[in-house]
Every structure is written in structure tokens, then in C-alpha cells.
Chain A
Amino acid sequence: MKIWTSEHIFNHPWETVTQAAWRKYPNPMTPSIIGTDVVERRVVNGVLHTHRLVQSKWYFPKWTHALIGTAKTCFASERSTVDPERKQMVLKTNNLTFCRNISVDEVLYYEPHPADASKTLLKQEATVTVFGVPLSHYMEDLLTSTISTNAGKGRQGLEWVIGLINTEVKGIARGTDELLHSTRRSIDEVTESARKSMDEISAQAAKAAKAMHIT
């Protein structure tokens, strides 16, 4: 058994990071994750509980194929809780169909940074267990380094999604501005044309009055 842990600080508030966490895939940094499906979800005592099925493709060096099989679609089970009051998001992933002799369990904790609430602290833990195959500890080392690389990519991927969300928010703000601007413009136009027609009407009326006077 091999345990790997890491910590990472996101320069974004917890709310932004948790929103992005749901939208983490797809991102260009982790093409190995090919699908997610919610299989159960509900709110219990104000806490959101979700069970997701995650499809991924893992590639290993060729020499390992005889031991653990070639890369194929793997299914992992991800159970998570989001507690908006305590500001805690916990995601636990167990691999479902990764071959019988390998078990990879991962836990992610997202919490506001204790010293700076405008930042988010991610704590990550992975446990790798390989049993029943030769060179088990080599396999565990290999998997651990794969996880380490993937974890880095996952964080970059999340940053990418956060960037996307922030652009969307700006886009919405810009959209609203544009809408306001064009509304104002069209009101101006309406007013203008109304004024024009009023002018026209009064001009016509003046003309008519003049004509009436003349006649």
C-alpha cells in the first residue's frame, strides 16, 4: 500500500472553486476523464450528497500490460458532499472496474484557506494498493507517480475551468451592459422618432392651421 498526499492553494474563493469542481471535466489538461454521470443526488440536512460514475482511460507502459491489462475504459465511483454552511466539499473516489488486483482510492477536500478566506485550500490523498501480482511495490510506485502527475494536471484543469467561469461572468456583465446600452439607444431612437413625428404632426397641424386660416 502506498499513500500519496498533497496540498494546493487556489487563489479563488471557495464558492468559485466548488462551482468549478462540478464543471472540472472536460478540460484540456485531463483528457483521460472521458465521462461523468450522476447516479444519485439529494440534499440531506442542507448538505448536498452526490454519487457519480466517472469514466476514464488510463495509459500505462507496455511492460505492465501483462500484469494489469492494457488501457481501457475504467469506471470509478465518486461520492461527494458539499456543506455550504461549513464551507466544505469532500470528494471520495474509488475505482470500480480497474482490474481486480488494483485499488486506487482518492479523497479531495476543498475548504476556505484558514488564514485567507479569499483563497481555497485543496487537500488531496490517494491510496494505492496492488495485490496478487508480481512486482507489486513497483506497480504501486508507478501508479503513485501517475497519480501525482494527474493530480497536477487536475489542478491545472480546475484553474482552466475557473478561468472559463470568470470569463462567462464577465461575459454576462458585458452582455448586460450591452443590453442596457442598446435598450437605452433604442429608447433614444424611439424618443427621437417620436419627437420627429410629433414635430411632423405639429408641422402638419401648423400647416393645416395655416391653411385653415387662409381659407
Chain B
Amino acid sequence: MSSVGEDCNELKQQYDACFNSWFSERFLKGQTDDSVCAPIFRVYQDCVKRAIREKKIDLREIDPIYDTNSDHEQTNSSTGNQQQKGKS
């Protein structure tokens, strides 16, 4: 499975591997602290965001609703939007 950015593939694989083990070994067992994959996630994100910019993919084309669960409070989605705006 490849990344949008060809040069991000290796980072993506490293991050996915970290996430998959975090998800099954920790998250599903109730440990929600996700700091273990944070460093690799940051590097991978930098790479992906750069590739998205270069390929001119507009993520804001779809509406920026963060929550997929309608019963979640609005505060979550508003912070999500702010973060997105801040990053882009």
C-alpha cells in the first residue's frame, strides 16, 4: 500500500506498523495514550502534508466535519477544524 508521496512510503510503513501494534495491544485494551507512535507520526505527517500540497489535493473540498458519530459534542469538531486550519 503506497502513500500519496512516493518518498513517504517508508515513513508510512513504519508508522502503520507502530499504529497497528498500538491499536491491538493498547487501544483495544483500554489504554488510550497514543504517545508511543507520536514521533514517527509527526515525521510521516510532514511528508504527507507536503505531498498533498505538491499534488494540489484539496482536502477542504469535502466538509470538515471531524466526528463521524453524530452524538458527539460539537466542541470536538470545532477544535478539529481549528487544528486543520492551523496546520494548512
Q: Which residues of A contact B (CB under 8 A)?
A: 15, 18-19, 22-23, 25-26, 33-49, 51, 53, 55, 75, 77, 79-85, 88, 90-92, 94, 96-97, 107
Contacts and interface: CB of A to CB of B under 8 A. Distances in A.
A55 B15 CA distance: 18
Main secondary structure of the interface of B (DSSP, over half): helix
Interface string B67-81: 111001000100010
Interface of B: 1-4, 8, 12, 15-16, 19-20, 23-24, 27-28, 30, 32-34, 41, 44-45, 48-49, 52, 57-59, 61-62, 65-69, 72, 76, 80, 83-84
A53 B20 contact: no
Contacts of A96: 57-59, 61-62
18 contacts: A15-B28, A19-B24, A25-B1, A37-B12, A39-B59, A40-B83, A42-B34, A44-B76, A48-B32, A49-B67, A53-B52, A55-B4, A79-B67, A84-B30, A88-B69, A94-B62, A96-B59, A96-B62
Nearest to A46: B32
A189 B68 CA distance: 59
A77 B1 contact: no
A189 B84 CA distance: 61
A45 to B, nearest CB: 8
Contacts of A48: 23, 27, 32, 34
A81 B69 contact: yes
A83 B16 CA distance: 19
B66 A79 contact: yes
Contacts of B62: 77, 94, 96
Given A26-B1, A39-B52, A90-B69, A53 B23 contact: no
B33 to A, nearest CB: 8
Nearest to A80: B68
A92 B27 CA distance: 21
A202 B22 CA distance: 54
A185 to B, nearest CB: 29
A92 B63 CA distance: 12
